[in-house]
Amino acid sequence: MYIPFDNLSSLLRSPVSLAVTIFQLWMLVDALRRREWVWAFFIFFGWGFSAAFYYFYVYRTSAGAMQGFELPGTQDRRRINELKAQIHHLDKAYHYSQLGDIYFHKGKLKDAEGCYRSAMEREPEDINTRAHLGQCLLRQKRPAEARPLLEGVVAENPKHEYGYSLMALAETLAALGEKDAAIERFKQVTLAHTYPRAKVQLAELYLAKDEREPARNQIKEVLADDVHAPPFQRKRDRYWVRRAKSLQRKI
């Protein structure tokens, strides 16, 4: 990685340049983990500016919008190109919906919404597209628009996507200020699943009502489950475990 200094000692004597270099390394590692090869190339051979552009246009967008929230499954850049080609040649609802899921994972919620709406124009009753559009609208802080989509999905299949749609409906109700209804939906989720995402938000709703004991029980379960969880699950749930620890200090 290019650093415009003659030696390491001169770099260490310049706090600003050292900070920029550390920031550049951080963004380079993130780009490699995301398989953003073009960005990684420019960050590696640039100094500061490329890393700053990456931070604002890729890192902050996806991390800020989607931290702790996800749909089942993962996708990559190669799949994006495949789906765009299939859309061009076949124009099928399924391909639009799949592309929307990729954009959702990357935190590109406006692009995801556009794909989901295109899918619904072609197949308006598809349950997965309706559920994912509802979640997409919720993440864009538009819960009133998300609600009818998610309520329809849950009415049709309460277990849709292993409780993820039910959990999104609970989050929607909470965002709309309907705390009691949200609590009931979260309780439905936690009866069937051990998702920290549901338990932490349920604990937060209990605390908002000053019901400390049930909140404490939810937090204890999250922290106890985390100790015995496999590494991949701990990595996936670490956002919610941090929130649980923060709540524990308040009780």
Span 108-128, pLDDT tens digits: 999 999 999 999 999 999 999
Structural contact between residues 132 and 116, judged by C-beta atoms closer than 8 angstroms: yes
Structural contact between residues 146 and 69, judged by C-beta atoms closer than 8 angstroms: no
Which of 156, 196, 153 is closest to 172 using CA atoms?
153
Is residue 182's pLDDT more than 80? yes
Is residue 2's pLDDT more than 70? no
Is residue 60's pLDDT more than 80? no
Using CA atoms, how far apart are residues 1 and 4, in angstroms rounded to an integer? 10
Per-residue confidence (pLDDT) for residue 21, from 0 to 100: 78
Which of 141, 170, 177, 139 is closest to 153 using CA atoms?
170
Q: Which amino acid is at 39?
A: W
Structure tokens at 237: 């749930």
The reply to whether the predicted model has a pTM over 0.75 is: no
Using CA atoms, how far apart are residues 100 and 87, in angstroms rounded to an integer? 12
Higher pLDDT, 28 or 57: 28
Which of 105, 50, 47 is closest to 76 using CA atoms?
105
154-162: long-range contacts (C-beta < 8 A, 24 or more apart)? 156/127, 157/127, 158/188, 159/192, 160/127, 160/131, 161/71, 161/72, 161/128, 161/131, 162/72, 162/193
Higher pLDDT, 172 or 56: 172
Q: What is the pLDDT of residues 63-74, one digit of tens each?
A: 545 566 766 554
Q: Which residues of 146-160 are buried (b: 16+ CB within 10 A; e: fewer)?
A: bbebbebbbeeeeeb
